[in-house]
Structure 1
């Protein structure tokens, strides 16, 4: 009885601390426009919110589920297109469009995941890539609906809801920050729940997990659907930011960039993908201003991280701290 009470108290204190950290982060982000008039900085943070959610949701599969997906961009791009189409053609409110986007993504994620999660390792990776290329081809071919290779242009209507006017850039910035922090906090709670620990057990030893009564296929499928839904919210933020949706959002290179973000930030630290997203966006912004050989220079940087650190930055820092503690002890 005392042990269960101790666990409950620990979980409660951890949850309270995470709430406090999230509110502090949101407060800091909220005051940035009041302290700095830099539009570039605010643009960067909005993009970081979108890509941070994308990379963190993908790490739910890779780092916590042991499932390397090459097709995660289909949900990011699909979320952007679904939201943009709902706003343009259906004329619904922003909350309804977001809810509709998440619901449709969950259905697609369940259908795709039900097939993919039965496979292991490289077969899973390439089947997700095949589905992603299929979705990308639909976007390019269905010109009347998606605009083809031109994407959805003409802007996204932004009716006021709950007193929030997303046509105002500052309010759009605050809304993106709120969605980013809220999604990261929700993913954190999911991964710290019994479901999250079951997912880790399946990653480490699926046969043992099955022997202990865990439905391996169902756990993997739930993780696939949840990660796809969060990725679609990242797509919503991106659609609001660019006021449209474009085929590049669902192309395989976007999935590759999300994997790079995880590699650069770290698989085993929760905030690793967010740090990696920030680094990759920063490198992209700087490199494109300095040289036209963008892909070459970025490839060299990724190699430096892969060969030099042999892991993401936060994983490297974690290993150093553990070594320091051993030496100190």
Structure 2
């Protein structure tokens, strides 16, 4: 087949023509659910196990339904239940107040659920999202689970249904990745010799240098809600390590990954956890060049690798980005 690009970006799935924002991803899912009954059954039964084959055969789907208050992303109407899906990209979840605007629709139908859909795990959603809103159950669906269902269903699918499953898989795998691998913005943070929860075996620095892992609180304090491609770590007045982020997830507690960390109010809250690849150049320290203290900075990787100081790299990065 001939190669196709759009705005210079390869189009590898028909859904790439939509875009990658929340509405686009939900629209792609809705279209695929309407065209592939097997996928519809798998997804619906994850969030509404009581659905029967007869219910699924009579199901209807609607995107961006407007009501008196708010607009839903996706509605799946069954004879005996209404499932309202509110989708988010990355690890985000809808707020309780947002879900509350949709609860009356489910109550008016007689039964159903509010479904949150994002990259957040079910465990994280159980911590951050309510289990019910105004008497309506709230359940979570992870994009990872959707991809798992796609993988399970494809081998037994044929014809046009398999085509749509392949198209959706290709699209979701691209959307659910980290930032574009061409994005060289690097998140630069300071590491200390303190220990999480003021105890345990490893310092914050040793998690990076020994375990090739880094973590930070999720959802507050100005920390990223989308994982960076690269991270730079500094201590003793210089940048001393640069790594690519090869995996990112949000955990309800640091103890889910490291049970030996002391359990405190801080360590048992949700954290973004990054697995880091091998150390990248520069291997020699890059002096700060300014009194940054504990400031967290974004800097272009090539500027960090070529400028004599972090301050110079930060300034040149801003100029190249048109913000300084």
Q: Highest Rg: 1 or 2?
A: 2
TM-score w.r.t. structure 2 length? 0.26
TM-score w.r.t. structure 1 length? 0.26
Counting strand residues as a fraction of each chain, which structure ranks higher? 2
Which one has more relative contact order, counting CA pairs under 8 Å at least 6 apart? 1
